[in-house]
Amino acid sequence: MSAYQKEPGPERLTGVVVPIGALRGNQSTGVGEFLDLIEFGTLCKKMGIRLIQILPVNDTGYESSPYSALTAFALHPLYLRIEAMPEAANYAAPIAELKNQFEKEVRFPYLQILRAKIKLLREMYGAAETRIGQKAKPGGPLAEWIAKNPWVKAYAVYRRLKEAHGEKSWKEWISYRDVSSEDIETLWNDERLKGEHLFWVWIQEALDAQFSKAVESLKAEGILLEGDLPILMNEDSCDVWAHPEYFYLDLSAGAPPDMYSPQGQNWGFPTYNWQTQEKDGFAWWQNRLKIAEKYYQAYRIDHVLGFFRIWTAQRTDTSSLLGRYVPYTPITEKDLKALGFDSGRIRWLSQPHIPTGEVWDSLKNSGLEGNPLNVEAERVFTFALDRIGGEELWMFKPGLRGEKDIEALGLHPGAAGYLLRAWTNRLFLEYEKGKFFPVWYCRNSRGWASLSEEERVNLEGLLKKRQQDSEKNWEKLGAKLLKVLTESSSMLPCAEDLGAVPECVPKTLGKLGILGLRVVRWFRAWDKPGQPYIPFEEYPELSVCTPSVHDSSSLREWWDHEADKQAFCDFIGEPSLPPIYNPGVAQKILKKMAESVSRFRVFPIQDLLHLSNRWYAPDPASERINVPGTVSAFNWTYRLPGTIEEIAQDEELLRMVQDLAAVQLAPKKKAPAKKKG
């Protein structure tokens, strides 16, 4: 077994993270393409880089985020080099026009390039459709490719239907919202639709051929390619449409609140129905890994915590403040009554109670006075709330199911904002009859403030017990699911295990030989005074050490605007470093990181380029890949600041990266000698 694979080996690799779309090759068309990996691999070999990690490359349609895929299997048409296709011989002029139009863009215009490519591919396919159709007949090369890639049938049918419905989500289609495998096969075999279906197959076969060619080139250079498998699927995807039984469509996955996202994250992706998937031996996951293994020798498991437990919100909410972990050992009505809470107290703790005066205050604080104030207050009390008996206390109307319903009432912004805050002001979420989950900010709730000290102590004990019960279940589930993955493929698994990580996660990853992720700026002893950084010699061998990730600022931007510079200088043993990032600062910091015990030391391409003054953008924020919590044309469209060929001519940069790749393990600190006598 290779040192790259599951068994720990002596070889430590230095790698680079780069999105495919960021590459600027000699022949690319305004965006990086799979075949650019060949040229990039040659550059990496010169620099001593032995690993290339890429972001997900599945088809995401007209959504630029690579983590919002339309399919777990099909590749993205954006990364196809049209010029290299056999049918491109008579299309030199329009291909050159595409290059002229997009190649000089600082960031690639995702939608424009994709639409232009699809339009040209349509034209090319139309001219060659008869010949392509012949290849798809029994015994033809395209027919053989389809037989080896049966997933492409559902994908092609889905893509045709999605296009026919104006690219709307399948949940908004006029027809074929609910389909069986037989329905999909019938549509696939409809001769009237064959041409449309083969268009998408033709593109996928070409993408597979080009990606495979690039992969073979990297292997020849001795470079490991690591892919990225997002754990979740877009609700609007071929997989959810064709296999809804594998998912819970009424739940939305996300992440609980933290210092960066105080409202939590609601991703809108459905969660998995593991019980149903287990019935066929997790065939969908096994097929997914089989396809990935065609290209990768290692893969990143995005949000590995989701295999243990996942944070979910109801589809009726926009935030995830009222989210909960699934699975979770619930607090039951019986548990609460055993602590002395009767039905009335349980209702008080699990449903928002709104004093009359707070509604009026929310409107007054918005600047309303006189009759406008009275009118808006009347609307709130009429449309949103029901009074509790004769008290100056109100509850939400039973018909309001979540934040989206409150927003849809069209109330004054002051009142709507207050009601949204009030909606989450509860100690418990009753997610099923008699089953409760403590909301994330439960100790800030009106219900918690009303508890006696004895009630709080008793309740804390119950919460701790249910957390412990749940962690046992999380460990069992995570071990079972990840074992399926590790036993289904020879690829080396690497896990993105950031966030609030239960103790069972690193233990399970270690047992299964899965590399965890250590982002230096966040790998700290957060529970100790001063929150010290973890020394590099104490990093786990089964880990990936990295200075930044695609959702964070670059190391340069972090240093300039976010870092506690003196604390970090003390950590790496430097008396001081310049306050503004430069190649000298980059060299000192990256070399220290390269001393990590971690199996892989992986650096985002931006962080490596900062070893040379030549590649600094005026604004470091412009070098980001993604800004979480925002939707814009900026996100996911990063491009290298020069062509691969131009970067390869930067001898100083090459030498600096070579030195970085040659860094050996940091010497272990000797324990202080014991005093005699």
pLDDT (tens digit per residue) in 285-331? 999 999 999 999 999 999 999 999 999 999 999 999 999 999 999 99
Give residue 674's pLDDT band: very low, low, confident or very high (50, 70, 90).
low
pLDDT at 628: 87
Structure tokens at 672: 């202080």
Instruction: Tell me if residue 502 falls in helix, strand or coil.
Output: coil
Q: Which of 442, 464, 486 is the last residue of a domain?
A: 464
Beta strands in 356-408 (DSSP E): 385-387, 393-396
Q: Answer yes or no: is 4 within a domain.
A: no
Distances in Å between the alpha carbon of 619 and those of 78, 547, 556, 675? 27, 19, 10, 54
pLDDT at 670 over 60: no
Give residue 248's pLDDT band: very low, low, confident or very high (50, 70, 90).
very high
Angle CA 28–31–34, to nearest 5: 65
Distances in Å between the alpha carbon of 543 and those of 44, 48, 622? 22, 20, 29
According to DSSP, residue 30 is labeled: S
CA distance linking residue 369 with residue 365, whole number of Å: 10
- Domain count along the chain: 3
| 166-175 tens-digit pLDDT | 999 999 999 9
Q: Answer yes or no: is 472 within a domain.
A: no
Give residue 6's pLDDT band: very low, low, confident or very high (50, 70, 90).
very low
Percent of the chain's residues with pLDDT above 70: 97
Q: Which of 205, 227, 242 is the last residue of a domain?
A: 242
pLDDT at 499: 79
Q: Which of 220, 242, 264 is the last residue of a domain?
A: 242
| 491-506 tens-digit pLDDT | 999 999 987 789 999 9
pLDDT at 2: 38
Please check whether residues 97 and 25 belong to one and the same domain: yes
Residue 253 amino acid letter:
A
Q: Answer yes or no: is 374 within a domain.
A: yes
pLDDT at 676 over 60: no
Distance linking the first and last C-alpha atoms of the chain: 51
pLDDT at 517 over 60: yes
Please check whether residues 381 and 445 belong to one and the same domain: yes
Q: Answer yes or no: is 269 within a domain.
A: no
Please check whether residues 404 and 524 belong to one and the same domain: no
Please check whether residues 78 and 208 belong to one and the same domain: yes
Please check whether residues 223 and 366 belong to one and the same domain: no
Comparing CA positions, the residue from 348, 326, 333 lying closest to residue 436 is: 333
Please check whether residues 197 and 136 belong to one and the same domain: yes
Is the distance from CB of 153 to CB of 188 less than 8 angstroms? yes
Is the distance from CB of 366 to CB of 377 less than 8 angstroms? no
pLDDT at 8: 42
Q: Are strands 324-326 and 310-314 parallel, antiparallel or unpaired?
A: antiparallel
Q: Answer yes or no: is 180 within a domain.
A: yes
Cα 626 vs. chain centroid, distance in angstroms? Answer: 11
Q: Is the peptide bond before 579 cis (omega within 30 degrees of 0)?
A: no
Comparing CA positions, the residue from 208, 172, 19 lying closest to residue 200 is: 208
pLDDT at 148 over 70: yes
Tell whether pTM > 0.85: yes
pLDDT at 86: 94
Q: Answer yes or no: is 523 within a domain.
A: yes
Q: In what order do the strands lie in the sheet with 331-332?
A: 331-332, 435-438, 428-432
Q: Answer yes or no: is 253 within a domain.
A: no
**What torsion do the CA atoms of 341, 345, 348, 349 make, to the nearest 10 degrees?**
-10
Structure tokens at 315: 């589809």
Instruction: Tell me if residue 181 falls in helix, strand or coil.
Output: helix
pLDDT at 5 over 50: no
| 537-587 tens-digit pLDDT | 999 999 999 999 999 999 999 999 999 999 999 999 999 999 999 999 999
Give residue 260's pLDDT band: very low, low, confident or very high (50, 70, 90).
confident
What are the two backbone dihedrals, phi and then psi, of residue 162, each rounded to the nearest 5 degrees? -65, -40
Give residue 667's pLDDT band: very low, low, confident or very high (50, 70, 90).
low
pLDDT at 261: 85
Q: Answer yes or no: is 507 within a domain.
A: no
**What torsion do the CA atoms of 504, 508, 511, 514 make, to the nearest 10 degrees?**
-130
Please check whether residues 459 and 533 belong to one and the same domain: no
Structure tokens at 495: 């896990």
| 612-647 tens-digit pLDDT | 999 999 999 999 999 988 889 999 999 999 999 999
pLDDT at 673: 54
Give residue 1's pLDDT band: very low, low, confident or very high (50, 70, 90).
very low
Comparing CA positions, the residue from 222, 211, 202, 169 lying closest to residue 49 is: 222
Q: Are strands 428-432 and 385-387 parallel, antiparallel or unpaired?
A: unpaired
| 191-237 tens-digit pLDDT | 999 999 999 999 999 999 999 999 999 999 999 999 999 999 999 99
Please check whether residues 126 and 219 belong to one and the same domain: yes
Structure tokens at 640: 């290298």
Give residue 7's pLDDT band: very low, low, confident or very high (50, 70, 90).
very low
Cα 152 vs. chain centroid, distance in angstroms? Answer: 24
- The whole-chain average pLDDT of the chain stands at 94
Please check whether residues 17 and 142 belong to one and the same domain: yes
Sign of the torsion formed by the C-alpha atoms of 105, 107, 112 and 118: positive
CATH code where residue 186 lies: 3.20.20.80
Tell me the residue range of the domain where 127 lies. 13-62+71-242
Q: What is the mean pLDDT of residues 111-123?
A: 97
Please check whether residues 186 and 79 belong to one and the same domain: yes
Instruction: Tell me if residue 409 falls in helix, strand or coil.
Output: coil
pLDDT at 358 over 80: yes
CA distance linking residue 35 with residue 25, whole number of Å: 8
Beta strands in 122-264 (DSSP E): 224-229, 247-248, 251-255
Comparing CA positions, the residue from 334, 540, 548, 19 lying closest to residue 28 is: 19
Please check whether residues 456 and 526 belong to one and the same domain: no
pLDDT at 91: 96
CA distance linking residue 125 with residue 202, whole number of Å: 8
pLDDT at 4: 45
Contacts of 311 (CB under 8 A, 6+ apart): 253, 254, 255, 256, 264, 320, 323, 324, 325
Contacts of 356 (CB under 8 A, 6+ apart): 392, 393, 394
According to DSSP, residue 625 is labeled: S
According to DSSP, residue 75 is labeled: B
Please check whether residues 17 and 143 belong to one and the same domain: yes
CA distance linking residue 628 with residue 552, whole number of Å: 8
Cα 245 vs. chain centroid, distance in angstroms? Answer: 23
pLDDT at 130: 95
| Full 3-state SS string of 246-278 | HEECCEEEEECCCCCCCCCEECCCCEECHHHHH
